[in-house]
Amino acid sequence: MLEVKALEKVYYGVGEPLTVLKNLDLAVQRSEMVGIVGDSGAGKTTLLYILGALERPTGGRVTFEDEEVFPVGIGDEDLARFRNRKVGFVFQFHGLITEFNALENAMMPALIAGRGKAEAADLGRKALVDIGLGERMHHKPGELSGGEQQRVAFARALVMQPDLVLADEPTGNLDVNTGERLWEIMFEINARKGTTFIVVTHNERLARRMPRLLRLTGGRLETLR
C-alpha cells in the first residue's frame, strides 16, 4: 500500500545542512501494524510527516496505492486533499478545539472534505461509538479525562475511514493503564476494519506488541522484528 524509496530529508538554515533522513526505504502492506522506535531527534516525526504529506521530502519517492504522493509540481491543496481522504493523524497532544464538544471535534475532517453537516455528524457519532465514547460525545474537552480526550483524537483520525493512520507518540502523555487501553483500541480497529497503523513511540514495552517493529537510526530504518 505504501512504498518509500531512497527518501531523503535535509534541513537548510544557518550553518551546515542537517540531514535527518538518508536513503531510507520502507514498504508497508495493507492492514499492517508497524511500530517505529528510535532516539529523540532521530527523525521519527519527520518521517511520519512526510508519509502523511504534511512535509515534503528533499529527495526520493513516496508511493501510496501505486500513485506518487509528491509528483513534480504538486501543490499544497492537492496534498491537503490526499491527507484528508487517505490518512488519519494522531499526535501526543490531542489538539482538540476546546470550544467544541467531542462530536464537533470528531466530525471536523468530514466537514473539511465537503460533507454536509448531517452526514459529518453521523460519521462523527459512528467514530466515537467505535472507540467507546458514545455516551460522552456532547462533552467538551475540559469535561473529559486525558484518555477520553485522546480517544476523541482517535475518532477524529478515523472519521473519514482512512486507509492509513499515522500515530506519533499517541500515548506518551498518558498513564500506563490508559495508554494500554488506547493501544488495544488500535488493535481492535485494525482487526475489524483492516486499517493500517504506523505508530512512533518511545515506549518499547508497548512497541514490542507490534507485529512489525523498526528502529530509525542514522537516517535509515532497520528491522527489529
Q: What is the CATH code for 31-59+81-223?
A: 3.40.50.300
pLDDT in tens, 156-169: 999 999 999 999 98
What is the structure's pLDDT at 143? 96
Q: What is the spatial distance between Cα 125 and Cα 130, in angstroms, rounded to a whole number? A: 8
| CA–CA dist 218, 220 (Å, integer) | 6
Mean pLDDT for the stretch of residues 69-90 = 93
Domain boundaries, the chain: 31-59+81-223
Put simply, whether the predicted model's pTM sits higher than 0.75 gets the answer yes
- Residue 152 · residue 106 · CB < 8 Å: yes
* Phi, psi for residue 137 in degrees, rounded to 5: -70, -20
The pLDDT tens digits of the residues spanning 127-146 come to 999 888 889 999 999 999 98
pLDDT confidence band for 182 (50 / 70 / 90):
confident
